[in-house]
Homo-oligomer: A and B are copies of this chain.
Amino acid sequence: MSDVAVLAGVGTKTVSRVLNGEPNVSAKTTAKVLAAVEELDYQLDLMAGSLRRIDRRTHSIGLLIGALDNPFSTALTNAVEIIAFRRKSVLLSSSLHLDPRREREVVGELLRRRVDGLLLTTATHSLDIVAAAQSRGTVVVYMDGPPLGMTADAVLSDSRSGAILATKHLLDQGHRRIAYIGARRDVYTIRERRMGYEDELRRWGIAPDPALIIEDANEGTAEAAARELAMSGNPPHAIFSGQNLCTIGVIRGLRSAQAQQRIALVGFDDLPMSDLLDPGLTVIAQNPEQIGTRAAERLFQRLDGDVSDASTSLVPVRLIERGSGEIRISG
């Protein structure tokens, strides 16, 4: 910046004024400064500025995501990025690559870079440092899960209602033996989905059958489980898959048992091209754009000084009928 000041023949404070759009600089001086900036291809050093700035804002926000291997996470990230860009903030994005032990280190890296806020989709192993940062003024917003062990804003899908909707839809088709195949039980939203499934069964007077409940599945084990269920002596009439990657496994499993036209399927969370399958995949679609947008907007409201009580915002889900969930009972 001093180079620019020298070349323009002004003080550094004047350069700072021009580059930050502060008032009280004559048009002539502004022009001189801008010419020098152009000449030297100068870019303001925002990080140096934030050191002295009264609010210490770095105009960066940290995003912690479980893994980027999922269209849901991608859409979420994209939505967040759009809001951040609008607010002249940059996104420091980190994923865990499925290794929860990295969480502490990843969050630490974000905090050491003094992000203004943290958008967390998962944070079970770094609670202390997140809470400490929050008490120092770092804004914390949870996405796709509730705040764990601390008070913070959260934006998430209404998983329970979605699971109830899915289960009811299958019951409405006449199915009674409905299996659940879901992902990691240690994830809040996943548990909610299983519980919604059980709630609705009970509401219809059906006791959840442990033999029809498979948890902690990934794509591979979901495939094996679906295949096994389909080929068993007493196969289920329908399957509710509690997560999109599991759903892919279930589809493969049903196909390898040639049961995809016989056993109904509703998946939680949508998948691209799932309308092109045969049968088309019926899903409970989440709204990741909305979750990401709301969470990021909440974060910036907080940065703007909103000190109202922390709140949890539930984003509605909806049923999309494409065929697999509308297979009716045939026996």
Q: Which residues of A come within 8 Å of B, CB atoms? A: 41, 43-48, 50-51, 58, 60, 67-69, 71, 74, 77-78, 81-82, 85, 88, 90-95, 97, 102, 106, 108-114, 128-129, 132-133, 248, 251-252, 255, 271-274, 276-278
Contacts and interface: CB of A to CB of B under 8 A. Distances in A.
Contacts of A67: 78
A51 B274 CA distance: 50
B95 A93 contact: no
Contact of A90 (B69, B77, B92, B129): B92
A71 B67 CA distance: 13
A255 B276 contact: yes
Contacts of A106: 85
A65 to B, nearest CB: 10
Contact of A95 (B78, B129, B248): B78
Contacts of A44: 112
Given A92-B90, A128-B41, A81 B68 contact: yes
Contact of A273 (B88, B91, B112, B277): B277
B114 A45 contact: yes
B60 A113 contact: yes
Given A47-B50, A273-B274, A276-B277, A90 B109 contact: yes
A21 B179 CA distance: 54
Nearest to A271: B273
Contacts of A60: 92, 113
Nearest to A73: B74
Most chain B beta-carbon neighbours within 10 Å: one of A47, A81, A255: A47
A129 to B, nearest CB: 7
B47 A113 contact: yes
A43 B88 contact: no
A94 B89 CA distance: 10
B78 A132 contact: no
A256 B77 CA distance: 33
A55 B244 CA distance: 45
Given A43-B129, A90-B110, 20 more contacts: A41-B133, A43-B112, A43-B133, A46-B113, A46-B114, A60-B92, A68-B74, A68-B77, A68-B81, A69-B74, A69-B78, A78-B97, A81-B95, A85-B106, A90-B109, A91-B93, A271-B273, A272-B272, A273-B274, A273-B277
